[in-house]
Structure 1
């Protein structure tokens, strides 16, 4: 009996290691394919409307949906890169602003802890110069890598078009693997999985759009430098739960501090950003994204950590809906259903 249990545990460990190795070493192929599948699920209702209501063929409908994704994603990307290029061109002037911030910080530390400005200058100048140089290098590297990113994006669009065009064939292929006695269960699982991906991504896009409007209004009122860049960045990065909202709030507050605003203004601005994040986390997400795709905080954190270790930034985005699909599959299995208690939010 113990031997059989040990054998099952070993088989499970080997299976888990095999899945991890497949995901890690096959990331160059699997990441664009997964983005293509998820985007196909996102625009699938539009695809169905064009085909069944407007009586367009599969190819024209798939082309229009692919073009729609290209225009929206390409427009946001162009806006972000344009604003980032403006920021990169202003980095020499920003160094002076940063040095002014360091000087004010030194004065405050001298009064607070009694450390001489000479000692502070020796400690801070080395690190501030290296920090600014690293920032300039990272921005330049990001702008220089846009050709590779553009090629990967075009590959994702090709996969999107093909998945929309041949989705019926993919369903038939899966049904042949499952067998006729499992057809109804397999179809239900595929429909629910596609629905969860659509609900999560579409809901996330709406939350990001509302968040962008709130951020833009707040940044405009407080006259935050590079408010368009910070707005686009802040909205995009929130696609990563927990970590994203923290970064999207921290960066503009740091920028506001560096540009020499008074302490009361900084506290007021930080409070407004905090309120916006609370609205996003406790009002927008539960109402717009809904309970259907909600995972427990533990499941979301595990998904982010595993996704980040396997696929990097792409994994941190994709593995959350992955786990939502996994929760549906577990709920359809009587043997694995107890695991759903860990993944489920309630």
Structure 2
């Protein structure tokens, strides 16, 4: 008995190890494919609307849905890079101020240490040569990484288009491999997995939208420089749970520390950003996302760390909803139910009931939920 349990544990550990190895070495193929699956679940309602309400053919509806996705994502990144370009050009225009500051520092070094300007120039030239070599290497890496991202993005769009066209065929294909008595359970797993992916992404988009409005009002009220760049970056980075919202709030505070000379203004701005962060964490996330991806904070952090280690930035984004899909599979598999319980988050207390009540009230889902239960 003990030996069989040990063999079972060893099998699970070996399988987990092989899965991680496969995910790591198959990243170039799996990342665009996984993004394609999740974006497909997001675009299915739009595709269904075009097919059923506007009576468009499946191919045309799938193409238009994919094109809408391309415009939205491509437009966001175009705005981000255009604002980043303006920021870099502005820094280059201010290089006189930077050089003036450097000259002042160098003169202070001469006055305090006796380290002459000639000696500083010799040391600076040596360091500059090394820095230029490193910069050349980094630039070539950035260029190759940009090409990889562009290819992955195009592959993702192709996958979305093809998945939308063949979405019913994939469903039928999976059902053909299931025995008759397990078809109902399999259908529930597929429907719930699709809903979790769809609602997680849609909920995250809603959080990003509301957060962007709050940031925009705050940045404009304080007349913060590079508002558009900070706003777009702050909204996009929040797609990474926990880490993203923290970075989206930290960067504007650092900019305010550099740009402003008024300590009262800096303090009040920092307090407002912290309040926005608290609203995002304790109101928006539970209201719009929390009930859709019922994972414990511990396993969300594990998903983020593991995803970042295996797939880099893409893993930071994808592994949380992937863990949500895994939890659904675990919950509907008797042997794996304990693992689903471990990953899950127990909803208790008046706080979550209060948020659920207002979520249903705001989104008009109260009556529909009652109809589903009856």
Structure-1-length-normalised TM-score: 0.86
- Alpha-carbon distance, 1:95 to partner: 5.9
RMSD of the alignment, in Å? 3.1
Aligned partner of 1:185 in structure 2 is 185
Whether contact under 8 Å (2:331, 2:341) holds in the other structure is: no
- The aligned length equals 330
CA distance in 1, matches of 2:167, 2:202: 20
- Alpha-carbon distance, 1:145 to partner: 4.7
CA distance in 2, matches of 1:187, 1:62: 23
CA distance in 1, matches of 2:269, 2:135: 24
CA distance in 1, matches of 2:217, 2:100: 27
- Alpha-carbon distance, 1:98 to partner: 6.9
> CA separation of 1:208/1:243 partners in 2, compared to 1, >3 Å: closer, same or farther?
same
- Alpha-carbon distance, 1:188 to partner: 1.1
Aligned partner of 1:195 in structure 2 is 195
CA distance in 1, matches of 2:192, 2:316: 22
CA distance in 2, matches of 1:136, 1:276: 40
> CA separation of 1:102/1:342 partners in 2, compared to 1, >3 Å: closer, same or farther?
farther
Q: Which has the higher contact order (CA 8 A, sep 6+)?
A: 1
- Alpha-carbon distance, 1:302 to partner: 0.6
Are positions 1:333 and 2:333 aligned together? Answer: yes
Are positions 1:51 and 2:51 aligned together? Answer: yes
SS at match of 2:333: coil
Paired residues for 1:143-222 under 5 Å: 145-222=145-222
Aligned partner of 1:27 in structure 2 is 27
> CA separation of 1:325/1:334 partners in 2, compared to 1, >3 Å: closer, same or farther?
same
> CA separation of 1:95/1:335 partners in 2, compared to 1, >3 Å: closer, same or farther?
farther
> CA separation of 1:262/1:189 partners in 2, compared to 1, >3 Å: closer, same or farther?
same
CA distance in 2, matches of 1:218, 1:91: 24
CA distance in 1, matches of 2:253, 2:95: 18
- Alpha-carbon distance, 1:207 to partner: 0.9
Whether contact under 8 Å (2:308, 2:316) holds in the other structure is: yes
Whether contact under 8 Å (2:212, 2:235) holds in the other structure is: yes
SS at match of 1:77: helix
Task: Name whichever of 31-40 and 322-331 sits farther off.
Answer: 322-331
- Alpha-carbon distance, 1:180 to partner: 2.5
SS at match of 2:335: coil
Task: Name whichever of 274-283 and 66-75 sits farther off.
Answer: 274-283
Whether contact under 8 Å (1:81, 1:143) holds in the other structure is: no
Task: Name whichever of 87-96 and 45-54 sits farther off.
Answer: 87-96
Whether contact under 8 Å (2:196, 2:292) holds in the other structure is: yes
Deviations 1:254-303 (A, max 9, x none): 11111242222111111111111111111112222241323211011011
Whether contact under 8 Å (2:304, 2:317) holds in the other structure is: yes
CA distance in 1, matches of 2:265, 2:135: 26
- Alpha-carbon distance, 1:149 to partner: 2.3
Whether contact under 8 Å (1:88, 1:140) holds in the other structure is: no
Task: Name whichever of 139-148 and 7-16 sits farther off.
Answer: 139-148
> CA separation of 1:90/1:296 partners in 2, compared to 1, >3 Å: closer, same or farther?
same
- Alpha-carbon distance, 1:146 to partner: 3.6
Structure 2 portions without partners, runs of 5+: 104-110, 116-123, 347-374
Aligned partner of 1:63 in structure 2 is 63
Structure 1 portions without partners, runs of 5+: 104-116
Bigger radius of gyration, 1 or 2?
2
CA distance in 2, matches of 1:205, 1:217: 19
SS at match of 1:90: helix
CA distance in 1, matches of 2:145, 2:329: 38
Aligned partner of 2:229 in structure 1 is 229
